Amino acid sequence: MAGKPAAPRPPATPDLKTAADLAPVLPMTADVRDGHLFIGGVDTVKLAAEAGTALYVMDEAHIRNQLSEYVKWTRYHWKDVDVIYAGKAFLSVQMARIVADEGCSLLCASGGELAYALRADFPMERVQVHGNNKTDYELHECLEAGVGRIVVDSLYEMERLAAMAQEAGVEQSILIRITPGIEADTHDFIQTGQEDSKFGFGMAEGLAMRAIKRALELPGIDLAGLHMHIGSQIFALKSFSSAIEVIVHFMEDIRQETGYVVRELDTGGGLGIAYGLPDEPSTIKDYGKVIVDGIKEHVEEHGLPVPKIMVEPGRSIVANAGVTLYTVGSIKQIPNIRTYVAVDGGMSDNIRTSLYDAHYEALIANKADRPREMVVTVAGKHCESGDMVVRDAPLQVPESGDILCVCATGAYCQSMSSNYNKQVRPGVVFVKDGDWRWSVKRETYDDLMRNDVE
């Protein structure tokens, strides 16, 4: 049941794989027709010619499928589960509307993300806002918008929020973020002291309990329950199980010390995805069982009622729904060292390779049925030697002008993009049933200088 962690990366060799072999990392509608990669029934080579590169392409069917899988496999085990999409992974107005349409809620990490929810007419009672240092301005925005939940991260924030809510004459529902002392990684879980996290309240030395008691006495806020988030790109489901065991135990401590019964429990996001072919993440089905049955089992042990359960997936909704298309420019062969294939993008549209040494699969969209006969390094166009998109990647023999597709870039690429070197950010298109449409237009030079004061 537990997902298999990514093995340490072996030295890359030409693996002779074609697009068909890359299905585990590609969007679910990907197929190959006449040697071209199609996504959502759209020829990506033609799309690159029409919309230009670099370009983020998102498969709407894949996104909807992931959202509905979460709804299905969490509610399969308990009726009262809310799937809250974490907008930080990728957010546009159309994305917010898709999330609403699938009956899911939206997690916002800032006033900016909340502004997207407002622009999309997202039902505000289904918006949850978190963050370890919300400004007064952001808290006001939340109250004014009437967001469903605010995840409170510190006593300083709790006091300010309660005062603001009272002044506004409202009672704001909150969750308190707990650091369960378990930090997950892709291989296993390690115990960490709560002192080591900038997020939430640790349970050591009674910090979390103090926060609960304060929330229960403060007017202006209504304590709905607890929140946690143990990490991201998690393969081992037992990391979640361990955290659930700890937090449900804490729910029992709360009842014993205060009489308060936690009504809602949010277990955060974090389910891992396949970036590379060796990755075998857990399924949403198994994840749903571990989370929901885990909570049910432990609350039963303590004689507590089953709370409303919330999960906050981000990456696993959008990562594999997206690819980035680039045009191959210069190809530099350094004998006995490596071949650099330079593209018309780089660390400005995908910082993850340089930031986390992330690995991606790549293919040439106009040679999708040919085997990956070479190993190359896909380099960006920025003035920085660490600006790589994919290091040591098996690839079809490239030529300048080819359309290069990097897989699984739907999460945390566009949302972490920048204008370094005054590079305009690529646009985002959604593909569906043979058609494409802009979700976010490509930036222009005027956009770059929009806020410049002459």
Query: What whole-number distance in Å separates Cα of residue 127 and Cα of residue 104?
Result: 10
| Least gap, CB of 270 to ligand LLP (angstroms) | 4
Work out which of 154, 232, 239, 377 binds ligand LLP, going by CB under 6 A. Answer: 232
SS3 107: strand
Q: Let me know: does 382 contact 421? Beta carbons within 8 Å.
A: yes
Residue 54 preceded by cis peptide, ω within 30 = yes
Is 352 among the residues that bind ligand LLP (CB under 6 A)?
A: yes
For 308, half-sphere exposure in the C-beta direction (CA atoms, 13 angstrom radius) is: 10
Q: Is 406 in the site for ligand LLP (CB under 6 A)?
A: no
225 binds ligand LLP (CB under 6 A): no
Q: Which of 142, 383, 405, 407 is catalytic?
A: 383
Among 87, 313, 380, 394, binds ligand LLP (CB under 6 A): 313
User: Which residues, including other chains, have CB under 8 Å from residue 245's CB and lie 6 or more apart?
Assistant: 294, 298
Distance between CA 61 and CA 274 in Å, rounded?
A: 18
* Residue 108 among the catalytic residues: no
User: DSSP class of residue 280?
Assistant: B
- Give the residue with the Cβ less far from ligand LLP, 234 or 365: 234
Cβ of residue 109: shortest distance to ligand LLP, in angstroms? 7
Options 43-51, 83-91, 254-262, 363-371: segment touching ligand LLP (CB under 6 A): 83-91
Residue 412 is a binding residue for ligand LLP (CB under 6 A) = yes
Which residue matches tokens 């298309």?
A: 325
By CB under 6 A, tell whether 343 contacts ligand LLP: no
Q: Does the footprint of ligand LLP cover residue 312 (CB under 6 A)?
A: yes
268 binds ligand LLP (CB under 6 A): yes
Q: Does 359 engage in binding with ligand LLP (CB under 6 A)? A: no
Query: Does 86 contact ligand LLP by CB under 6 A?
Result: yes
Q: How far is CA 22 from CA 15, 30, 110, in A?
A: 11, 9, 35
Q: Does 77 bind ligand LLP (CB under 6 A)?
A: no
State how far the alpha carbon of 138 is from the alpha carbons of 38, 57, 133, in Å: 42, 31, 10
Q: Bridge-partner residues for 310, per DSSP?
A: 82, 266
Give the tokens for residue 118.
Answer: 């407002």
Q: If residue 356 lies in a helix (H) or strand (E), which one and from where to where?
A: helix 352-356
Q: How far apart are CA 279 and CA 221, in angstroms?
A: 43
- Give yes or no for residue 270 binding ligand LLP (CB under 6 A): yes
Size of the site for ligand LLP (CB under 6 A): 19
Considering only 12-20, 309-317, 363-371, 424-432, which stretch makes contact with ligand LLP by CB under 6 A? 309-317
Catalytically active residues are 383
Which residues of this chain interact with ligand LLP, rule CB under 6 A?
86, 88-89, 107, 130, 229, 232-233, 268-271, 312-316, 352, 412
